[in-house]
Amino acid sequence: MSFRKQKNLRQNNRDRDSNKQNQKGEELDTNNPIIKQFQIYSVELDDKHDRHERLVKASRDVTIESKRIIFLLHNIDARKNNKTAVLEEAKQRIEKLCTQNFLVIARELQGYDIYQYIRAISAGIQEFIEAFTFCEYLQDKELSDWNQIEKRFKYKTEDNNEYKFDLIPCEFMLGLADLTGEIMRHCINSLGSGDTDNCFKTCKFLQNIYSKYLTLDSVPNRGRDFSQKMSTMRASTLKCEHVCYNLMVRGTEGSKLVSFDGATGVDADNDEGFF
Amino acid sequence: MDMFQKFNSYLEEEYEIREKIREIVRQIDSESKEAAATLQIIHISLSDVGKACTDARTIFDKCRILYNDLAQCIPSGQYYRFSDHWNWSIQRLISLIALVVYLEAGFLVTRDTCADILGIKNQQTVGELHLDLETYLLGLLLMVNELSRFAINVVTLGDYSRVLSLQRFVSDLNSGFRLLNLKNDGLRKRYDTLKYDVKKIEEIVYDLSIRGLLKPTEEITEAFTGA
């Protein structure tokens, strides 16, 4: 609400400014070469800002839908025996994101440098990668890399225009890092539903992926994001290891109660603040 | 999972490109520092202004060659991936170019001309080396900063009449900037300092005029009747 208010205010200011301009100097506008130049610049700047806003909006749509897909995937429960049905729905919704939402983004970026607008769309891409790879993980597939996913972002529309959307490897890796949080949650859920085999499986997967991330060289630009994700990933891994430890020591029944004692604190600060 | 190996080699590639870019930008930086130092003479001696401008222009020519090298380093379509490296140095060069053009001819250099002088493209053709609009505008704001200093020193050096044209120029530029819808970003922040420069120069004009040091030229009377 306050944000909208601010925006309106700014709009009003803008209008007032342009009114002032008109009252004061009609003669300035037409004759002065500086004013003439700046009128051109103004158009270009507005165009850029508008495109940025549209991309932010498109990215936000992708973020929301991806979060919902992830939420849906967490509903998979060994007791309900609903795995295939949930996966099927998730796959369909992911497909829809690929064919519709990303087409919007690809269209906007046609002829532009994707890096110029990366900040507008980064959140959406990462959330999508998270949902996509989580879905793949649950299907026991090997995870796709960015080139494989990128193949889905090639479009040919009815009016014979071709669009494509390049997936930036750094963004992919940041999104994949988010996956570990979901895997951890999946591990805890499995514990709740008594699917202990799955706990060990997820734990192994997390340990594996964490050690791979440790082998990476320093990532430029988004370095700060990256180190933050690494510490979250470590926390998730520890949490899973704790679950497995409890399973081994105390057996299946007790672990559900006690496993959280030592582990909840670890992730409390680093949680995404979602749900 | 060889995905991580693939990513590592991707990072390595990127690192090499960045190293190359850094080296070229370092050279450009040292050239532009020299140009900036050369142009400092305008605050000290007005008779040397012409020579300083020609000297600066030869340095711009050197930069043009370096920018040509830089353009080769950028993978196509990835200008903004690496632009952090050179944004600042282009800004500074733009401010120097705009200053030189103003001193020589008294008008505001266009973006096209700036791009020509540096031998880079004006419009963005999918991520190749070009003169970004924001960079150009930031460069102009940097120049105004220098001009407000110049206005003071011009008076000290006894050339009172110049202050008026300076004031005209800067206030035109100010109204130009007011045509832009700026977002709350770096450009807006820098633009907010423009008014202090405008004020500084207006104060100088005021000081001179209350002491009768400015002849009431046509320009002033026109300004008064216009308002």
Which positions in chain B touch A145 (Cβ < 8 Å)? 3, 6-7
pLDDT exceeds cutoff 80 at B224? no
**A71 touching chain B per CB within 8 A:** no
Q: pLDDT by residue (tens digit) across A203-238?
A: 999 999 999 998 887 766 666 788 888 899 999 999
Asked if residues A84 and A90 have their Cβ atoms less than 8 Å apart, the reply is no
Q: pLDDT by residue (tens digit) across B58-109?
A: 999 999 999 999 999 988 888 888 999 999 999 999 999 999 999 999 999 9
Of A17, A45, A111, the CB nearest to B178: A17
Asked if residues A259 and A243 have their Cβ atoms less than 8 Å apart, the reply is yes
Decide if A273 is inside a domain: no
Q: Average of pLDDT values for B137-141?
A: 95
Q: pLDDT by residue (tens digit) across B23-44?
A: 999 999 999 999 999 999 999 9
The last residue of one of the domains, among A167, A188, A217, is A167
- The answer to whether the CB atoms of B176 and A34 lie below 8 A apart is yes
Decide if A80 is inside a domain: yes
Q: Do A145 and A207 reside in the same domain of the chain?
A: no
Question: In what helix (H) or strand (E) does residue A154 lie, and over which residues does it extend?
Answer: strand A154-156
How much is the pLDDT for B26? 96
pLDDT exceeds cutoff 70 at A274? no
The last residue of one of the domains, among A145, A167, A189, is A167
3-state DSSP: chain B helix, strand, coil percent, rounded to 5? 80, 0, 20
How much is the pLDDT for A217? 76
More confident residue, A125 or A112: A125
- Mean residue pLDDT of chain B comes to 89
Separation of first and last alpha carbons in chain A: 22
Decide if A274 is inside a domain: no
Q: pLDDT by residue (tens digit) across A184-206?
A: 999 998 888 888 888 999 999 99
How much is the pLDDT for A46? 94
Binding positions of A for Mg(2+) are: 130, 182
Q: Do A127 and A62 reside in the same domain of the chain?
A: yes
- The answer to whether the CB atoms of B11 and A220 lie below 8 A apart is yes
* Residue A211, domain CATH: 1.20.58.200
Of B1, B78, B79, the CB nearest to A212: B1
Q: Do A147 and A118 reside in the same domain of the chain?
A: yes
Q: pLDDT by residue (tens digit) across B143-153?
A: 999 999 999 99
* Residue A157, domain CATH: 1.20.58.190
Q: Do A153 and A174 reside in the same domain of the chain?
A: no
- For the entire predicted model, the pTM comes to 0.82
User: If pLDDT is split at 50, 70 and 90, which confidence band does A12 have?
Assistant: very low
Q: pLDDT by residue (tens digit) across A13-65?
A: 444 444 444 444 445 556 788 888 999 999 999 999 999 999 999 999 999 99
How much is the pLDDT for A263? 46
User: What is the extent of the structural domain holding A152?
Assistant: 40-167
How much is the pLDDT for A221? 63
- For an interface test with A, give the residue of B113, B129, B173, B181 to mutate (most A CBs within 10 A): B181
Establish whether this prediction's ipTM goes over 0.90: no
CA distances from A180 to A129, A225, A266 (A): 12, 15, 15
Decide if A236 is inside a domain: yes
User: If pLDDT is split at 50, 70 and 90, which confidence band does B127 have?
Assistant: low
Neighbours of A82 (CB within 10 A): 13
How much is the pLDDT for B128? 75
Q: Average of pLDDT values for A163-184?
A: 91
Q: Do A131 and A201 reside in the same domain of the chain?
A: no
Q: pLDDT by residue (tens digit) across B153-199?
A: 999 999 998 999 999 999 999 999 999 988 878 899 999 999 999 99
Q: Do A131 and A204 reside in the same domain of the chain?
A: no
Q: Do A121 and A204 reside in the same domain of the chain?
A: no
The last residue of one of the domains, among A167, A197, A218, is A167
Smallest CA–CA distance, residue A262 to chain B, in Å, is 32
Decide if A28 is inside a domain: no
Helices (H), B40-185: 49-73, 79-82, 87-105, 111-118, 133-156, 161-177
Decide if A219 is inside a domain: yes
The structural domain count of chain A equals: 2
CA distances from B26 to A61, B21, B62, B88 (A): 42, 8, 13, 11
Q: Which is nearest to B131 in space by CA: B93, B104, B105, B99?
A: B93
Q: In whole angstroms, give the CA distance from residue A185 to residue B91.
A: 48
Q: Do A157 and A45 reside in the same domain of the chain?
A: yes
More confident residue, A4 or A106: A106
User: If pLDDT is split at 50, 70 and 90, which confidence band does A151 have?
Assistant: confident
How much is the pLDDT for A251? 72
Smallest CA–CA distance, residue A24 to chain B, in Å, is 8
Separation of first and last alpha carbons in chain B: 73
- The answer to whether the CB atoms of A113 and B80 lie below 8 A apart is yes
Q: Do A158 and A176 reside in the same domain of the chain?
A: no
How much is the pLDDT for A222? 65
- The answer to whether the CB atoms of A111 and B3 lie below 8 A apart is no
